[in-house]
């Protein structure tokens, strides 16, 4: 059969999904090199556009580096979890008992911490986001609470009570948490 | 699998995993993030990896799943495909001129990204990674018949979409 | 007899040294439990984050606020308040160990701020939210905490409050 018929036949199977990789390459070669009849111009566009797609996706230069960084971070994080307790045993039974209870204590602490460490975030970006969200939440709640002090007239809000706000002091220094606290001192409702 | 062995055996897959993520997600940033996530997950289970004869399949599956999760989380208002600025250069007045093959490829990538699943992944594996059907069978856990039907549908769709793209330019 | 006594004393002492705090007990009980979300950012991560240099003013303000922070732990009860997690928090956490910084009681929500002070610095900070409509939550921050910096993080922002917590994974 002539070339055109041959190509059309492969094309038919191509659109049925049953052309082999070899035949697909044949199509590509044909459309690249020969003058193509009008009826096949759409197919030409499609086949040529589908060729060489792998090269069209640019792999970032630092992809592998970033992956290794991530893994290294995880490695280090894991190593921190493994705490090694070293004890020496004394001869006295009493000494043994003390050390035994110390061991239990450390084990328990290890268990708690390593139990929680499985929930520890390992992705710095996510850690930043979560930490930021948490702090902003705290901040929002705090600001909302202190601003309430200014709106005591709004009984409809259903505010039942605001307890005393302690000033934090140590020695002579007073921690002044926002100017609002000053106002809060004047409004003490039991 | 030890850490060093892990790096040696699995890091070579990073390019193909990135390409898959890029096909599915449409942008470099998310593709990079996803691939990093995949490797982190794999590393965490490195002790169990020894029992996998063909870890590549696992890697591809994980990448695909993570991408699909990301896609599900996207809100409808966001762009489905955010490409680099080169997009604007694709405004051609006369598409009958010889398009640079690079631009052609970019258009095709964009169109592939718009396909539904599993066609999109199948087209990626066939057209971009050049996999044989029996390889795709293993990777996707699909029978060859189903793969063929899916790819057939996808190709017809893509051809049409491409034509639409061209005619929209001539208008 | 004397030896036994000494032994007993020592055991008790070491027991108290390693005793879990009330907060630790809560985390032990609820971490990873179904229906609860646990988020832990530990000191290693904070050290890492503090070393990152950026031009981003937002990140700078974050570094400022967290400069002394060693860890943040968060427990939220997902989807509603049926189990009374918030109430349990309010009952279990020993208010006398902490100083009550502020309590805000509204019709449907109670928010408590507790701190532990040591040597003039805030070493531990607790935020407890017990809510009828939204998720109950416990946020624990340890380290050298700079409350003013944290409080200014959200000023000017119109945060709806609880919805943020729901995004915390």
Residue C166 has pLDDT above 70, yes or no: no
Residue C121's φ and ψ, nearest 5 degrees, are: -120, 150
Residue C117's pLDDT is 85
**CA of C145 to nearest chain A CA: how many angstroms apart?**
11
Report residue C118's pLDDT band, with 50, 70 and 90 as the boundaries: confident
**How many residues are recorded in chain C?**
169
SS3 percent helix, strand, coil of chain A, rounded to 5, is 65, 5, 30
- Answer for the pair B136, B125: CB distance below 8 angstroms, yes or no: yes
Residue A84's pLDDT is 38
* Burial of residue A109 (number of CB atoms within 10 Å: 0-12, 13-18, 19+): middle
Q: How far apart are CA B25 and CA B30, in angstroms?
A: 7
Residue C120's pLDDT is 77
Map out the domains of chain B as residue ranges: 1-75, 92-171
* Burial of residue B40 (number of CB atoms within 10 Å: 0-12, 13-18, 19+): middle
- DSSP letters for chain C: -HHHHHHHHHHHHHHHHTPPPHHHHHHHHHTT-TTEEEEEE-HHHHHHHHT---S-HHHHHHHHHTTTEEEEEEEEE-S-STT-HHHHHHHHS-TTTSEEEEEEE-SSEEEEEEEEEETTEEEEEEEEEEESSS--EEEEEEEEE-HHHHHHHSTT----SHHHHHH--
The stretch C73-94 carries a mean pLDDT of 76
pTM across the whole model: 0.47
Which tens digits make up the pLDDT trace of C49-80? 888 888 887 888 888 888 889 999 998 887 65
Residue A172's pLDDT is 23
**How many residues are recorded in chain B?**
171
A contact test, residue of B151, B153, B157, B166 with most A CBs within 10 A: B151
Residue A63's pLDDT is 92
Touching A: C residues 101-130, CB under 8 Å: 101-108, 111, 113, 115, 117, 119-120, 122, 125, 127, 129
Return the number of other C-beta atoms located less than 10 Å from residue A65's C-beta: 10
Return the number of other C-beta atoms located less than 10 Å from residue A186's C-beta: 7
Residue C24 has pLDDT above 50, yes or no: yes
Q: Looking at beta carbons, which residues of chain C come within 8 Å of A85?
A: none
Question: Could you tell me whether strands C121-131 and C137-145 are parallel, antiparallel, or unpaired per DSSP bridges?
Answer: antiparallel
**CA of C83 to nearest chain A CA: how many angstroms apart?**
22
Most confident segment among A50-54, C89-93, C159-163: A50-54
Residue C163's pLDDT is 36
Q: How far apart are CA B123 and CA B128, in angstroms?
A: 7
Residue A167's pLDDT is 32
Residue A78's pLDDT is 74
- Answer for the pair C93, C160: CB distance below 8 angstroms, yes or no: no
What residues of A are in the B interface, CB distance below 8 Å? 14-18, 21, 42-43, 45-46, 48-60, 63-64, 66-68, 70-71, 74-75, 122-123
Regions of chain A where pLDDT drops below 70: 1, 80-98, 105-114, 148-190
A contact test, residue of B5, B18, B124 with most A CBs within 10 A: B18
- On the question of a cis peptide bond just before residue B118, with omega within 30 degrees of 0, the verdict is yes
Q: Do chains C and B touch (3 or more CB pairs under 8 A)?
A: no
Map out the domains of chain C as residue ranges: 20-167
- For domain B92-171, say whether CATH 1.10.10.10 is its number: yes
- ipTM for the predicted complex: 0.79
- Answer for the pair B112, B80: CB distance below 8 angstroms, yes or no: no
Q: Which residue of A has its CA nearest to C58?
A: A132
Q: How far is CA B149 from the centre of its chain?
A: 19
Q: Which chains touch B (3 or more CB pairs under 8 A)?
A: A
In this complex, the residue of B36, B129, B150 whose CB is nearest that of residue A54 is B129
**Quick one: which of C114, C94, C117 has its CA closest to C104?**
C114
Q: Are the Cβ atoms of A109 and C169 closer than 8 angstroms? A: no
Question: Could you tell me whether strands A161-162 and C99-105 are parallel, antiparallel, or unpaired per DSSP bridges?
Answer: antiparallel
Regions of chain B where pLDDT drops below 70: 75-100, 169-171
Which phi-psi region, left, alpha or beta, contains residue C80 (left: φ > 0; alpha: ψ -120 to 50)?
left
Map out the domains of chain A as residue ranges: 3-56, 63-117, 124-186
**CA of A69 to nearest chain C CA: how many angstroms apart?**
13
Q: How far is CA C113 from the centre of its chain?
A: 10
- DSSP letters for A2-61: -HHHHHHHHHHHHHTT---HHHHHHHHHHHHHSPPPGGGHHHHHHHHHHTTHHHHSPPPT
What is chain A's alpha carbon radius of gyration, rounded to the nearest angstrom? 36
Question: What is the CATH T-level fold of the domain B1-75, as seen in this structure?
Answer: Rna Polymerase Sigma Factor; Chain: A (1.10.1740)
**Quick one: which of C34, C35, C36, C69 has its CA closest to C50?**
C69
């Amino acid at each position: 059969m002539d070339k055109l018929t041959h190509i059309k036949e492969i094309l038919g199977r191509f659109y049925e999904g049953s052309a082999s990789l070899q035949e697909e390459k044949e199509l590509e070669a044909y459309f690249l090199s020969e003058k193509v009849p009008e009826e096949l111009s759409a197919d030409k566009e499609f086949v040529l556009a589908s060729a060489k797609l792998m090269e069209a996706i640019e792999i970032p230069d630092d992809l592998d580096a970033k992956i290794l960084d991530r893994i290294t971070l995880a490695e280090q994080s894991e190593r921190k979890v493994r705490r090694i307790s070293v004890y020496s045993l004394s001869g006295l039974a009493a000494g043994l008992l003390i050390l035994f209870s110390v061991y239990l204590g450390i084990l328990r602490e290890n268990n708690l911490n390593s139990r929680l460490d499985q929930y520890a975030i390992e992705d710095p970006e996510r850690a930043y986001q979560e930490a930021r969200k948490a702090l902003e939440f705290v901040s929002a709640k705090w600001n909302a609470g202190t601003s309430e002090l200014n709106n005591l007239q709004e009984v409809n809000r259903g505010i039942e009570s605001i307890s005393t706000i302690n000033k934090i002091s140590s020695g002579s220094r007073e921690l002044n948490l926002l100017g609002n606290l000053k106002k809060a001192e004047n409004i003490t409702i039991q | 699998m030890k850490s060093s062995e892990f790096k040696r055996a699995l890091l070579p897959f990073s390019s193909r995993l990135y390409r898959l993520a890029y096909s599915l997600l449409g942008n470099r940033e998310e593709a990079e993030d996803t691939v990093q996530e995949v490797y982190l997950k794999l590393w965490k289970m490195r002790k169990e990896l020894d029992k996998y004869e063909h870890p590549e399949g696992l890697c591809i599956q994980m990448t695909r799943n993570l991408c699909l999760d990301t896609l599900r989380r996207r809100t409808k208002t966001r762009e489905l495909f955010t490409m680099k600025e080169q997009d604007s250069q694709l405004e051609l007045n006369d598409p009958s001129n010889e398009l640079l093959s690079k631009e052609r490829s970019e258009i095709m990538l964009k169109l592939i990204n718009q396909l539904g699943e599993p066609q999109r992944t199948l087209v990626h594996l066939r057209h971009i990674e050049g996999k044989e059907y029996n390889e795709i069978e293993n990777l996707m856990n699909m029978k060859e018949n189903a793969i063929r039907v899916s790819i057939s549908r996808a190709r017809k769709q893509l051809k049409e979409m491409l034509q639409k793209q061209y005619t929209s330019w001539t208008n | 007899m004397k030896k036994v006594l000494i032994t007993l004393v020592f055991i008790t002492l070491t027991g108290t040294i390693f005793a879990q705090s009330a907060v630790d007990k809560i985390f032990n009980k609820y971490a990873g439990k179904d229906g609860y979300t646990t988020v832990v950012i530990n000191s290693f991560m904070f050290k890492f984050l503090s070393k990152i240099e950026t031009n981003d003013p937002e990140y700078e303000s974050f570094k400022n606020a967290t400069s002394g922070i060693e860890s943040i732990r968060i427990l939220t009860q997902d989807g509603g308040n049926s189990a009374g997690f918030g109430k349990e928090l309010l009952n279990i956490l020993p208010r006398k160990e902490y100083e009550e910084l502020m309590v805000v009681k509204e019709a449907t929500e109670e928010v408590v701020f507790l701190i532990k002070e040591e040597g003039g610095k805030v070493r531990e900070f607790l935020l407890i939210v017990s809510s009828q409509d939204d998720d109950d939550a416990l946020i624990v921050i340890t380290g050298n905490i700079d409350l003013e910096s944290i409080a200014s993080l959200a000023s000017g922002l119109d945060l709806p409050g609880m919805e943020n917590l729901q995004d915390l994974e």
